[in-house]
């Protein structure tokens, strides 16, 4: 899960190498400001037979995940993801103070 | 024919062990490849993430199958993306060569590229085309 992180004026862009995964097997979650990317690629026994005689295996099979802290104020809808040519690209906005959630005041009854 | 069979088996077992290593960088091995044999074909699956199909080249010369890939990004693209905070992914060009025996021709090899995986198929066995006797005309 080699990743490049780039910063522009208003966004952070993460590009992660995830070759040969199904789109459905890549999960991105956001919890407590932690952005987690996990990906799964499995070799079931059935598939092995189907795949024929394996002569060499260098590629990784199994589950892998990686977490980045993006700040607690980030919401799911702020983050955009795309998967193309084996690269997952995530765009995370930089939040300025103005954009932060307004503090909710509770009226005194 | 038997000789050819044996030779073809060596192809993916012994012979590759030495030469069969992808380019290695500080962040690990590149162009990781799985090879399997199925229905009379060898199937190679090579990881080349983040490369466009046009930037992958496959060549066959003297029985050596070479895959080269070029991870390019123009300066404009780099500037657009902004300041680099972390770079782990490989950028540049890399190549890897496999010996596939000299009886294999371009026409025997099929390749496809999807989601950063290059899949190459080639026959496990191929008879050397029988050389037909050539007769020379007596003038």
A contacts of B38 (beta carbons < 8 Å):
51-53
- When pLDDT is cut at 50, 70 and 90, the band that residue A21 belongs to is confident
Put simply, the answer to whether B49 touches A7 (Cβ < 8 Å) is: no
Q: Do B16 and A53 touch (CB under 8 A)?
A: no
- Cα–Cα distance measured from residue B106 to residue B125, given in angstroms and rounded to the nearest whole number: 15
Q: What is the mean pLDDT of residues A7-35?
A: 87
Q: What angle do CA B52, B57, A51 make, to 5 degrees?
A: 85
Angle ∠(A21,A22,A28) on CA atoms, nearest 5 = 85
Predicted pLDDT of residue B138: 86
The pLDDT of residue B28 is 65
The ipTM of this complex is 0.73
B56 shares contact with chain A (CB less than 8 Å): no
Are B83 and A7 inside 8 Å of each other by CB? yes
Positions in chain B whose pLDDT score sits under 70? 1-28, 73-81, 127-132
CA-nearest residue of chain A to B38? A52
CB contact under 8 A, A6 and B81: yes
Asked if A39 and A65 count as a contact pair (C-beta separation under 8 A), the reply is yes
Confidence of residue A49 (pLDDT cuts 50, 70, 90): low
Q: Which percentage of chain A shows pLDDT scores above 70?
A: 83
Q: What is the pLDDT of residue A85?
A: 86
- Provide the pLDDT for residue B29: 77
Higher pLDDT, A74 or B7: A74
Instruction: Please calculate the CA angle B103-B129-B44 and round it to the nearest 5 degrees.
Output: 30
Interface of A with B in 47-76 (CB under 8 A): 51-60
């Amino acid at each position: 899960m080699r990743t490049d992180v780039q910063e522009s004026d208003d966004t952070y862009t993460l590009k992660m190498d995830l070759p040969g995964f199904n789109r459905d097997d890549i999960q991105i979650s956001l919890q407590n400001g932690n952005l987690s990317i996990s990906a799964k690629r499995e070799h079931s026994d059935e598939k092995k037979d189907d795949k024929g005689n394996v002569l060499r295996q260098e590629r990784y099979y199994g589950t892998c995940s990686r977490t980045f802290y993006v700040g607690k104020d980030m919401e799911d809808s702020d983050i955009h993801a795309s998967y193309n040519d084996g690269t997952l690209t995530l765009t995370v906005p930089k939040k300025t103070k103005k954009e932060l959630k307004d503090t909710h005041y509770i009226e005194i009854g | 024919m038997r000789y050819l069979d044996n030779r073809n088996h060596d192809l993916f077992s012994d012979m590759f062990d030495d030469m069969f290593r992808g380019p290695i960088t500080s962040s690990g091995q590149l162009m990781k490849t799985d090879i399997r044999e199925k229905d009379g074909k060898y199937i190679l699956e090579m990881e080349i993430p983040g490369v466009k199909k046009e930037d992958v080249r496959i060549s066959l010369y003297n029985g050596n199958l070479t895959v080269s890939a070029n991870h390019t990004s123009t300066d404009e693209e780099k500037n657009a993306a902004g300041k680099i905070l972390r770079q782990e992914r490989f950028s540049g060009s890399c190549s890897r060569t496999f010996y596939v025996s000299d009886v294999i021709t371009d026409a025997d090899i099929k390749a496809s590229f999807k989601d950063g995986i290059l899949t190459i198929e080639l026959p496990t066995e191929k008879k050397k085309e029988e050389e037909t006797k050539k007769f020379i005309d007596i003038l």
